[in-house]
Amino acid sequence: MTIAMPETLTSAQQKQLERQCQTRMNWTDAGHWMGNGEAPNCTTRDYIKNSHSRIFKFPTDASATKWNTDWEDNIRHAGHLGTIALTVIGGFFSGSAALTVAAIAAITKDEVQAKIPYPRMARGWSYEFIIEFTFRWSPASPHRSHIIQTLTSISKDFMGKEVNRTSTSKKYSLNQLPDGLARMLASAPSRKTITVY
């Protein structure tokens, strides 16, 4: 959904409009324009929202097993890298302290690794991953100009019943990102793709 601004503004024009609308010296205490030239349109707003969805389907036991094995392999490889890092850190200690630190660190790493959740699949199940961007811009309110990124994953069983759903959102102020990046992310056309694994 896009609510277009009355006219398309370049990045430089947006910055100029923000400066004019946010500089207190351009406005009276009653909110009337007293700056140079014509009063800017500080009520303009921009709102853009899109989503990108990818659905993985698992029609056979073999495809579900491959998915589960791939996830377990990735977790195992990350664990091996963790073990290497812990061994290097343990090397900074000497004697029995090194053995104790290395043993405790390895046990802790293995326990954490065993608890890493991933979407386990079975025959007939599906897994959907959705990325949504919500962009808001206003020249008069910099604290309201932001982009929200929402990541959602949904697992469904062979009956189409939702088994698991996780969602997380992160809000970024537009001044935290390179110029134009947030608008570009939110302006891309929404898509939904289906992949048979």
Span 135-167, pLDDT tens digits: 998 888 777 789 999 999 999 999 999 999 999
The confidence score (pLDDT) of residue 111 equals 60
Is residue 5 over pLDDT 50? no
Instruction: Please tell me the pTM assigned to this model.
Output: 0.70
The confidence score (pLDDT) of residue 134 equals 94
Tens digits of residue pLDDT in 77-88: 676 666 666 566
User: What is the radius of gyration, based on Cα positions, of the chain?
Assistant: 26
Classify burial at 6, counting beta carbons within 10 Å of its beta carbon; exposed 0-12, middle 13-18, buried 19 or more: exposed
Percent of the chain past pLDDT 90, that is, above it, reads 35
